[in-house]
A and B are shown apart, each in its own frame.
Chain A
Amino acid sequence: QKEVEQNSGPLSVPEGAIASLNCTYSDRGSQSFFWYRQYSGKSPELIMSIYSNGDKEDGRFTAQLNKASQYVSLLIRDSQPSDSATYLCAGRSSASKIIFGSGTRLSIRP
């Protein structure tokens, strides 16, 4: 079992709708969690990081963390075609290594 799991998708969402991406993790000692966006052939770009239970909002993005359920999610409101990419979830373990899930491909259809 991977330490960080994501549904590989692809996830298809109509333009203007909310895209919901989910991630689970196994290391209860993990302190920080990250969401990245990666376009084909490019490096991952950090969208946001979250450390505390609850929601954290940044523009159209909201990250949610539930440590009791070992669950992290990312909501993208008002989805745009430019949001079509692979989204990567990662967690910093108690040993400070940062482990990634395999990524979810998101497609926003016009």
Chain B
Amino acid sequence: DAGITQSPRHKVTETGTPVTLRCHQTENHRYMYWYRQDPGHGLRLIHYSYGVKDTDKGEVSDGYSVSRSKTEDFLLTLESATSSQTSVYFCAISETRQGGRGYRDTQYFGPGTRLTVL
């Protein structure tokens, strides 16, 4: 499972409330990502991080903010949840390595969080 956990795994909330999703890794990987997955859209990148306090926007960042104060934790916040943010949210970690066995690039996903905004 590549040492990635997400919390909570399920959440139901009401429109206008703030929501924070947590992603935790034990692998000490540099890159962390938040995606949302909706029918017909595949996985869409919300925000990503390339180090502590280093984050950048993805494809669908409006309405979301992130923070990474420690290597192991990447938080996704919906400041004021809307029904259009009802989705399954996946966190992923990634690492690139150049070593004796050549270049290697991997990405692994957490179990996902199902968020429903009523």
Contacts and interface: CB of A to CB of B under 8 A. Distances in A.
Interface in A61-110: 88, 90, 92, 95-103
Contacts of B45: 97-100
Interface size class of B (residues with CB under 8 A): 20 to 34
A92 B48 CA distance: 12
A80 to B, nearest CB: 23
A43 B48 contact: no
B58 A97 contact: yes
B57 to A, nearest CB: 9
Contacts of B44: 100
Contact of B92 (A32, A98, A101, A102): A98
Main DSSP-derived SS at the B contact region: strand
Contacts of A101: 42
Contacts, number: 59
Contacts of A6: 42
A96 B31 contact: yes
B27 to A, nearest CB: 14
Interface in B81-104: 90, 92, 94, 96, 103-104
Contacts of B59: 99
Given A32-B105, A51-B103, A100 B58 contact: no
Contact of B96 (A32, A45, A103): A32
Contacts of A49: 104-107
Nearest to B91: A43
A51 to B, nearest CB: 6
